[in-house]
């Protein structure tokens, strides 16, 4: 497979200020690549452009996500939201796993991510980080709010939580959810109402519902 250089699609890399185009919903202004371009582009070709991305004060902490396609899908979601960083924790595969590469359509190359042995380690790192997010070249220094997406006795509807920025969402295993140990570290636990027979939603769907709600309510 041939690799497309930046000169193949220069207009997609052109910085665009959303205020000049009347698009208040466009949070980011950097590059726009389609699936093929994302799969083909080399990381070394985009490293400088990635530094220009205005990232949202949000983190994903994945705890024991088994399905590699779910991890890939969460990379796509993380990229769509331009989050600050994604942590993959515990018994999970990481890039360059081929299934993650395929499901992510290459977004693992553009989303900042790290692996940690436990979610507790990731939470501690997020809380003690000196810089949480960049917004219009200003540093957001408020304490990170840790929010677990899980069904629990003390969970509340996701619409009623306090999403003061920055926020770290904990997303748990497809079968067993977020561990009890990790739930104890959360500031809040939120859940999505389920009115049918099935007890829960796919982890990507759950993450998307809550994270997009956050973007509109911070």
pLDDT digits over 90-146, tens only?
Answer: 999 999 999 999 999 999 999 999 999 999 999 999 988 744 444 444 544 568 899
φ and ψ at residue 63, rounded to 5 degrees: -110, 110
CATH 3.20.20.110 holds for 55-215 = no
Q: What is the average pLDDT across 193-203? A: 94
Give the residue ranges of DSSP H helices in 164-202. 180-183
* Cβ neighbour number for residue 142 with a 10 Å cutoff: 11
pLDDT of 80: 94
CA dist., res. 27 & res. 47, Å (int)? 20
Q: Which residue has the higher pLDDT, 74 or 28?
A: 74
CA dist., res. 108 & res. 81, Å (int)? 14
CA dist., res. 51 & res. 63, Å (int)? 27
pLDDT of 51: 80
| Residue 31: C-alpha distances to residues 5, 17, 38, 117, 161 (Å) | 14, 12, 11, 32, 32
Residue 144 near residue 168, CB atoms below 8 Å: yes
Average pLDDT, the chain: 82
**Using 50, 70 and 90 to split pLDDT, how confident is the model at 37?**
confident
Q: Is the dihedral of CA 152, 153, 156, 161 positive or negative?
A: negative
What would the pLDDT profile of 8-25 be if each residue is shown by its tens digit? 323 332 333 343 344 444
pLDDT of 19: 37
Q: Return the domain boundaries, the chain.
A: 1-53, 55-215
pLDDT of 53: 83
Q: Hey, what are 131's tokens? A: 């810089």
What would the pLDDT profile of 40-99 be if each residue is shown by its tens digit? 777 777 777 788 788 888 999 999 999 999 999 999 999 999 999 999 999 999 999 999
Cα angle, residue 95 at apex, residues 109 and 150 outer, rounded to 5°: 100
Q: Hey, what are 137's tokens? A: 């070249």
pLDDT of 175: 94
Per the DSSP assignment, residues forming a β-bridge with 83 are 56
Is the per-residue pLDDT at 201 higher than 80? yes
Cα angle, residue 48 at apex, residues 46 and 50 outer, rounded to 5°: 70
């Amino acid at each position: 497979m041939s690799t497309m250089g930046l000169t193949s699609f220069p207009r997609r890399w052109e910085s665009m200020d959303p205020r000049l185009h009347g698009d208040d919903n466009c949070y980011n202004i950097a590059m726009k690549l389609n699936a093929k371009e994302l799969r083909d582009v080399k990381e070394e070709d985009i490293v400088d452009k990635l530094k220009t991305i205005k990232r949202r004060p949000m983190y994903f902490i994945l705890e024991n996500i088994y399905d590699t396609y779910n991890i890939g899908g969460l990379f796509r979601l993380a990229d769509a939201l331009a989050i600050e960083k994604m942590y993959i924790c515990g018994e999970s595969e990481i890039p360059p796993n081929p299934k993650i590469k395929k499901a992510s359509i290459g977004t693992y190359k553009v989303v900042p991510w790290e692996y940690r042995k436990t979610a507790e380690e990731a939470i501690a790192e997020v809380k003690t980080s000196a810089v949480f997010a960049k917004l219009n070249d200003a540093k957001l220094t408020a304490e990170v709010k840790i929010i677990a997406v899980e069904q629990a006795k003390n969970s509340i509807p996701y619409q009623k939580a306090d999403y003061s920025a920055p926020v770290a969402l904990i997303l748990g295993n497809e079968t067993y959810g977020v561990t009890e140990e990790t739930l104890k570290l959360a500031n809040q636990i939120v859940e999505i109402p389920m009115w049918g027979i099935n007890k829960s939603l796919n982890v990507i769907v759950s993450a998307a519902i809550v994270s997009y709600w956050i973007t509109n309510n911070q």
